[in-house]
Structure 1
Amino acid sequence: MLTGCAQTQGTGEKGFNSGDGIVTVLPVAEREPLPELTGRTLDGQSLTLAEYGAGKTVVVNVWGSLCGPCRAEADDLVEADAELPDTGENAVALLGINVRDPGPGAAQAFVREYGITAPSVVDEGEALLTFSDTLPANAIPSTVVIDDQGQVAASIIGETTKATLVGVVDEVQASGRTAAEQDS
């Protein structure tokens, strides 16, 4: 979902690094709880990840309106959000973290342009730090999948596609079910 991005070898003119789509899915035993993430959404509402994503798999996408790869993946994210269930046992919630935009107008215009309905927290320097053990600080776009237990389960560094994102979510949810079955 972000002009001025460069590939991982360099930094773009706006200080963004774009990854190459590296996907990492952690085994259940290696997952760690995500520290609390709170913030204000683009429309000024307070949002707490623990409340927003309680009992759901949460897809957190880091984006900015100025990033070309973010623009390239925006339609795929919207399509994945529409395909993934938002209720029931395999419920998924999508959340954005908007970074380095020159002001709320650019981010709001981006959301309108791509028809994004999921909320985005405006990162004022702290939201992205929540993911410091998972994401490189300047890798934009990036996506993190948090399992229904609130643990970091997977990451995609760089632009993603609908197929990749849906596949990663399916894998995270299946591994969680398998681990729960082994525990019973």
Structure 2
Amino acid sequence: MTSHAIRPLAARLLVSVAAVALLAGCSSSTQADETTGGFVAGDGSITVPKPAEREPAPELSGETLEGDPIALSDFAGKTVVVNVWGSWCADCRVEAPAFAALDAETGDDVQFLGINIRDSRAAALAYDENFDIGYPSIFDRTGQAVLGFRDSLPSMAVPTTWVIAPDGTVSARILGSITESTLRGLIEEAGAV
């Protein structure tokens, strides 16, 4: 093989490796391992598309931590806060009290839905009990449910939170932990549309 033929092959290989690294949530300064489920902590960035540019939320479904069927479509017409978390995630533990407080504060007006990834059911249930989490989570040991957001605002970190507007579109994405006041503002903005 000539050096001219090797260069395009090497370039394609380099692009493929970079794409895989991006999809896996890797960064040059942090290597995600099996303990973190292949994800790294986010930087706290918030993406809020204009209403006309919002994409539909994916059709999420699965089993709750208790083994009952659940789907995002069960909450059609409501503002829904979807949060990807794991009991092994330090940033998830930081934001958990804000999620529990807002869930209690908003009552039936807003639905919170977790997606627990790369965890055991026992660890996830213990986490919910420890942080007084009263809303359901999809038990997604392999992380497949999270891939549903790849066509709208994909997850590249744990935690990642999406706010779904009552019309079923993704109105915001937060990569990393979020404060109670910021999440409250995003929820209010989503419901106002």
Say whether the fold is shared (TM-score over 0.5).
yes
Q: Secondary structure at the match of 2:135?
A: coil
Return the structure number with greater strand share.
Answer: 1
Partner Cα distance (1:164, 1:8) in 2:
28
Q: Secondary structure at the match of 1:149?
A: coil
Partner of 2:63: 40
Contact 1:135 1:142 in 2 (8 A): no
Which one of the candidate residues 22, 30, 43 is aligned to 1:10? 30
Which one of the candidate residues 59, 83, 87 is aligned to 2:81? 59
Q: Percent same amino acid among aligned pairs? A: 47
1:131-175 deviation line (CA, Å, top 9, x unaligned): 1231234x000100000011111111100111110011112222x
TM value normalised by structure 1: 0.83
Partner Cα distance (1:145, 1:20) in 2:
18
Structure 1 segments of 4 or more deviating over 4 A?
6-9
Partner Cα distance (1:8, 1:26) in 2:
28
Change (3 A) 1:131 1:80: same
Partner of 1:109: 126
Q: Which consecutive residues of structure 1, in runs of 5 or more, have no partner in the other structure?
A: 1-5, 177-184
Partner Cα distance (1:39, 1:71) in 2:
23
Change (3 A) 1:68 1:8: farther
Change (3 A) 1:168 1:106: same
Q: Secondary structure at the match of 1:144?
A: strand
Contact 1:56 1:93 in 2 (8 A): yes
Q: Number of aligned pairs?
A: 163
1:63-115 deviation line (CA, Å, top 9, x unaligned): 000010101111111111122241xxxx21000000111x1100010000000
Contact 1:8 1:18 in 2 (8 A): no
Partner of 2:104: 82
Partner Cα distance (1:67, 1:7) in 2:
17
Which one of the candidate residues 131, 147, 151 is aligned to 1:129? 147
Return the structure number with greater helix share.
Answer: 2
Contact 1:61 1:142 in 2 (8 A): yes
Partner of 2:21: none
Contact 2:146 2:155 in 1 (8 A): no
Partner of 1:181: none
Structure possessing the higher relative contact order (Cα contacts under 8 Å, 6 or more residues apart): 1
Structure with greater Cα Rg: 2
TM value normalised by structure 2: 0.79
Contact 2:166 2:190 in 1 (8 A): no
Q: After TM superposition, give the deviation of residue 12 of structure 1 in Å.
A: 3.8
